[in-house]
Copies of this chain bind each other. A is one copy, B any other.
Amino acid sequence: MEKWMGGDMHPSYRILMGPGPSNVHYRVYQAMSNPIIGYLDPQILTCMDEISEMLRGIFQTKNRVTLAISATGSAGMEASFVNFIEPGDRVVIGVNGFFADRMTQVASRCGAKVIRVEEEWGKKIEAEKMIQALREHPEAKICGVVHGETSTGVRQPLEEIGAYCQKGNTLLVLDAVTTLGGYDVKVDEWGVDVCYSSSQKCLSAPPGLSPITVSSKAMETLRSRKTKVESFYLDLILLEKYWGEERVYHHTAPVSMFYALREALRIVYEEGLEARFKRHEMLGDRLKMELEGFGFKLFAQEGYRLPMLTSVVLPDWIDDVKTRARLLNEYNIEVGGGLGGLKGKIWRVGLMGEACKIRNIHCLTGALKEILS
């Protein structure tokens, strides 16, 4: 242990227009510089109560079990399966992108038998196809759907699938990683049983937490398990005992991240959900128009395009890697490349939370004009 490592770190101030993380309000950075307190300190417990209460409003739910998992959105996905799946359980998953495919992997690792309802990447899944699969497998424990597919920019409507799941025992698990805070996520109205998200997209806190809400139907399924949840860290019964009234120690809460999330959620409340959704919608439309002007083609199915993440097919005269590298290195602008089979073919341009500003669109179009001319 001789060597001293590096100097001070001075990361560049990026305009984050990729698939997340998004930029963070200066008040959120300030909140993180609040002093650390203990994981059972009355002050952190109040902070956690406020986070739960604010998350309920944003998830549009009355679910008592509404909290932030102390890990990123991928852990939220895992929590949404590992708590409910017992070996051999059947799950039905709509697969039209990278993260829906990840759902199938996570579910399989938990021991589930996965029925994949496939759809072309870039298209929504037809409700009737999902419902048909659920009819064929009425014993399915979980129906998994991605609300905003970050790999393709597609928004999935939930009303019909939710209405069907509510009639039976199947739990509807919804990935709202990309949409929460930027688009309506109507957990109670749609009949979603488990909905998880992330701190770093439209909520504009730093990455590291996964907000999640769980219906009483799902909690009953969890309580009637025959086997223990494989994951101690993600066990929602233990998390509920820490976040709820019992206050039983489970893990050392990441208090700085809680401070950050609380402040980011307050900013959401100050703007109001409706105004926030409107802002994402208007600027999302504007960005799509601008990108089309450069010769990009919109990738996602018309009518189901996410406002906060625009996927565009590159014209063949634009070099993917070189152009994104120039945007990053010369203009400090991050945009996302394609994932999986879409690598090199599409860009994913985000306008999420604090990053969803007209001036960011101006910066991007200005830079693109210079680079592509």
On A, residues with C-beta under 8 Å from B are 1, 3-6, 9-14, 16, 18, 20-24, 29-39, 41, 43-44, 47, 50, 53-54, 57-58, 60, 70-75, 77-78, 82, 102, 105-106, 108-111, 198, 200, 206-208, 228-233, 249-257, 259-260, 262-263, 265-266, 269-270, 272-273, 328, 334, 339
Q: Is the CB of A36 within 8 A of B23?
A: yes
> In whole Å, how far is A109's beta carbon from the nearest beta carbon of chain B?
5
Complex CA distance for A173 and B254, rounded to whole angstroms: 24
Residues in B whose Cβ lies below 8 Å from that of A328: 41
Residues in B whose Cβ lies below 8 Å from that of A272: 1
Chain A interface, >50% SS class: loop
Residues in B whose Cβ lies below 8 Å from that of A106: 232
> In whole Å, how far is A195's beta carbon from the nearest beta carbon of chain B?
16
Complex partner residue of A54 from B5, B18, B70, B231, CB under 8 angstroms: B5
Q: Is the CB of B5 within 8 A of A255?
A: no
Task: Select from chain B the residue with minimum beta-carbon distance to A335.
Answer: B38
Q: Is the CB of B60 within 8 A of A71?
A: no
Number of copies: 2
Q: Would you list 17 pairs from A and B whose C-beta atoms are within 8 A, ordered by A residue?
A: A1-B60, A5-B266, A6-B50, A13-B35, A14-B37, A29-B33, A36-B206, A41-B334, A71-B75, A72-B233, A72-B253, A74-B251, A102-B232, A198-B252, A200-B252, A254-B257, A256-B260
> In whole Å, how far is A264's beta carbon from the nearest beta carbon of chain B?
12
Q: Is the CB of B78 within 8 A of A232?
A: yes
Residues in B whose Cβ lies below 8 Å from that of A38: 14, 16, 18, 21, 334
Q: Is the CB of B257 within 8 A of A208?
A: yes
Q: A38-B18, A75-B233, A110-B230 are in contact. Are A208 and B9 (CB under 8 A)?
A: no
> In whole Å, how far is A330's beta carbon from the nearest beta carbon of chain B?
14
Q: A39-B207, A70-B208 are in contact. Are A32 and B34 (CB under 8 A)?
A: no
Complex partner residue of A57 from B1, B31, B47, B102, CB under 8 angstroms: B1
Q: Is the CB of A256 within 8 A of B206?
A: yes
> In whole Å, how far is A341's beta carbon from the nearest beta carbon of chain B?
14
Residues in B whose Cβ lies below 8 Å from that of A208: 70, 208, 254, 256-257
Task: Select from chain B the residue with minimum beta-carbon distance to A1.
Answer: B57
Residues in B whose Cβ lies below 8 Å from that of A250: 74
Q: Is the CB of A270 within 8 A of B4?
A: yes
Residues in B whose Cβ lies below 8 Å from that of A253: 72, 207
Complex CA distance for A270 and B269, rounded to whole angstroms: 43
Q: A230-B230, A273-B1 are in contact. Are A43 and B12 (CB under 8 A)?
A: yes
Residues in B whose Cβ lies below 8 Å from that of A14: 35-38, 41
Task: Select from chain B the residue with minimum beta-carbon distance to A38.
Answer: B334
Complex CA distance for A3 and B52, rounded to whole angstroms: 13
Q: Is the CB of B35 within 8 A of A11?
A: yes
Complex partner residue of A207 from B6, B16, B110, B254, CB under 8 angstroms: B254
Residues in B whose Cβ lies below 8 Å from that of A47: 9, 11
Complex partner residue of A71 from B50, B70, B198, CB under 8 angstroms: B70
Q: A36-B200, A251-B74 are in contact. Are A58 and B21 (CB under 8 A)?
A: no
Residues in B whose Cβ lies below 8 Å from that of A9: 31, 34, 43, 47, 259, 262-263
Complex CA distance for A36 and B182, rounded to whole angstroms: 19
